Structure 1
Amino acid sequence: MTLTVAADRHASRIVDRAFAAVGPRGPAAFVWGDFVTAPGTVVTGAPGTWAPRPGGTPGLVVTARADEGVEIGGAPVDGEAVLFARAADGPTVARFRDGAEGVVFTYDDSKYALQVWNPNSDWARRFATISAYPYDPTWVVRGLVTPVSAGRTVAISHHRDPRPVEVPVVAEVRFAHDGEEHVLVATAPGPDQDGLILLFTDATSGPETYAAGRVLRIPTSLGSVTLDFNETALLPCAFSLAWNCPLPAAENALRIPVRAGERHAIDHDGKELL
């Protein structure tokens, strides 16, 4: 691939990412998400009240009046209705009068959250584009993915919750740049996602790029891999304060500047969104 072709693909990817950011499930469309663990729960951005299903059955129960504008499975809710977690069981999307949608989310089927999405949210309306570094071929490097000892974890805090939790480490990734070797720990992505994720900060975090860090996704494979840091992406919490993103562990704080990939979400005034 020529440098021109690679640079054009990089520019197109940034455009596509910006377009997707305000899509129905784009990061700027995320309004809020709350775990529903008790009857009568009020979720920001969602009409009615919400409750777990009896016995921990997957999904949630909504109680709403007809004039509150909740629709599930094409039918308006006037009383109680179930929002299912799995399409095989029944309707999985609740539609609200303001154009927002509610869906059920779970990490492990032990408890269920209602996520509210709206492509016309305040954040989506403010968002304009993504700023990024120009394509840099020197940041396409070879990496070595190696296994780690069983049971190894890393302490991860979250954007809205500073209390660290221990997260399993899947692998170590070693790479060299400008003659210096670096090591990052890889963790597993969220539900229904493939590959490994490298959450990291570097010397640009804050002065030049989103301060909380960025992420590079790589294939799930051991051995030699290509690491294209031009594909480094913003965390979802760069687009909306509703997100509770996992933040890079201390082990993944690179001392060098990684001037490649996405830098900031930008508003219509040309300013950083967050």
Structure 2
Amino acid sequence: MNALFTETALESFDADWQEWHAAHEQNRAHPHGFLAVTHLHWLGSEPTRLEGAPGTWSVEADVVRVVLEAGESLRQDGKELNTESGAAVELGPIEERGGIHLVSGETVVELAKRGGEYIVRPRHPGNPLLQAYQGTPAYSPDAAYVVRGTFVPFEAPRPTTVGAAVEGIQHVYEAPGEIRFKLAGRELALTAFNGHAPGSLSVLFTDQTSGKTTYAANRSLSAVPAADGSVLLDFNRAVNLPCAYTDLATCPLPPAENRLPVAIEAGEKIPYERQDQQ
């Protein structure tokens, strides 16, 4: 038994994990989530019509221009952008890894910036990938994969360049430090990036299950260090990124040092759709 848990706490641990996983699955299957992405378009300076989205699109000097014809609708925050047919609507600039969502009928049109390039990803609730989604298999929760670690800050945050699930782009993240921990009798460390929530950290990693029972390219885990640097790593909550489900994602790959030499038989496994493709 994991020393962090009593028998009663283990029962609560299992129930909490089931509740968390159900909520995570519900969020993943949102009608306009990443499973609803129908196309991935990279914008250039030449005005181009994009499949799945209204208008003619181009980008130059960090400003995206959309020209909507009569009868074409695109709304931002409930406001109709097509106030004059043939007039250009200007959007941006957008921060790296930022984005905005525009609405056209049932379609949500995501305009985002990835690897210094602007992309457009229409999202439609009728997308076959979303309609066929069966859920993501996962290991049964195991307290052995909940470990105490220590967050060790670097002297200064390190800009860290990593590859991406699509060729031709790279992502640069700020790494404030590393998380050191012990698992399977080995001293290990993971370079951590700043997470989405204030004070949180995000780690991208692979391990000896990657490409076998878990997705080959990456998994992600969030953690929140305490003021004294102590941090709890619950690998049961390791999740797949969008690239595990669709080739229309631009997910980052883990830094080389985050390829763990142990098998972490916890968290999410290869999605059913990817299993079918192998």
TM-score (norm 1): 0.81
Cα distance 1:63–1:150, how it changes in 2: closer, same or farther (>3 A)? same
Q: Which segment drifts farther, 42-51 or 69-78?
A: 69-78
Instruction: Quickly say closer, same or farther: Cα 1:93–1:209, change in 2 above 3 A.
Output: closer
The residue identity in structure 1 corresponding to 2:258 is N
Tell me the residue number matched to 1:117: 123
Match of 2:107 in 1: 100
Determine which structure has the larger strand proportion and give its number: 1
Partner of 1:38: 45
Amino acid at match of 1:238: A
- The equivalent residue for 1:89 is none
In the TM superposition, residue 197 of structure 1 has moved relative to its aligned partner by 1.2
CA–CA distance in 2 between the matches of 1:204 and 1:102?
A: 35
Give the length in aligned residue pairs: 259
Amino acid corresponding to residue 184 of structure 1 in structure 2: L
Q: Determine the structure 2 residue equivalent to 1:62.
A: 66
* Alignment check: 8 A CA contact 1:171 1:186 kept: yes
2:216 corresponds to: 211
| Cα distance, 1:272 vs structure 2 | 4.6
Matches of 1:162 and 1:66, distance apart in 2: 36
CA distance in 2, matches of 1:218, 1:272: 32
Aligned residue in 2 for 1:202: 207
Structure 2: gaps of 5 or more residues: 1-7, 94-99
Q: What's the offset of the Cα at 1:273?
A: 6.8
Task: Find the partner of 1:28 among 26, 35, 59.
Answer: 35
The amino acid of 1:198's aligned partner reads: V
Distance 1:117 1:258 in 2: 33
Change in Cα spacing, 1:262 to 1:111, as seen in structure 2 (3 Å) is closer
Q: Which residue in 1 is equivalent to 2:97?
A: none
Match of 1:79 in 2: 86
8 Å CA contact 1:21–1:29 kept in 2: the answer is no
Would you say the 8 A contact 1:70–1:94 is kept in 2?
no
Q: CA deviation at 1:123?
A: 1.7
1:253 equivalent among 247, 256, 259:
259
Distance of 2:118 and 2:11 partners within structure 1: 47
Q: Percent identity?
A: 28
Paired with 1:193 and 1:116, the residues of 2 have a C-alpha distance of 26
Cα contact 1:156–1:249 (8 A) shared by 2? yes
Secondary structure at 1:242 match in 2: coil
2:73 partner amino acid: V
Q: Say what the alpha-carbon RMSD is for the aligned residues.
A: 3.0
Aligned twin of 2:242: 236
Quote the offset at 1:125 in angstroms: 1.7
Q: Does 1:137 align with 2:143?
A: yes
Q: Offset at 1:41?
A: 3.3
Q: Does 1:8 align with 2:8?
A: no
TM-score by length of 2: 0.80
What is the distance in 2 between the residues matched to 1:115 and 1:220?
34
Consecutive unaligned residues of structure 1, counting only runs of 5 or more, are 87-91
1:228 deviates by: 0.8
2:186 matches 1:183: no
Q: Any conservation in 2 of the 1:265–1:273 contact (CA below 8 Å)?
A: no
C-alpha contact (below 8 Å) 1:3/1:137 kept by paired residues = yes
Q: Per-residue CA shift, 1:141-195, capped at 9, x if unaligned?
A: 1010001133634441100126656543221111111321111101234xx6542
Partner AA of 2:183 in structure 1: H
Residues 7-42 of structure 1 show CA distances to partners (whole Å, capped at 9, x for unaligned) of 122122222222211214422123344453424134
Aligned residues of 1:27 and 1:237 also touching (Cα < 8 A): no
Deviations 1:35-65 (A, max 9, x none): 5342413444323211347x645xx332232
Amino acid at match of 1:127: Y
**AA partner of residue 119 (structure 1):** P
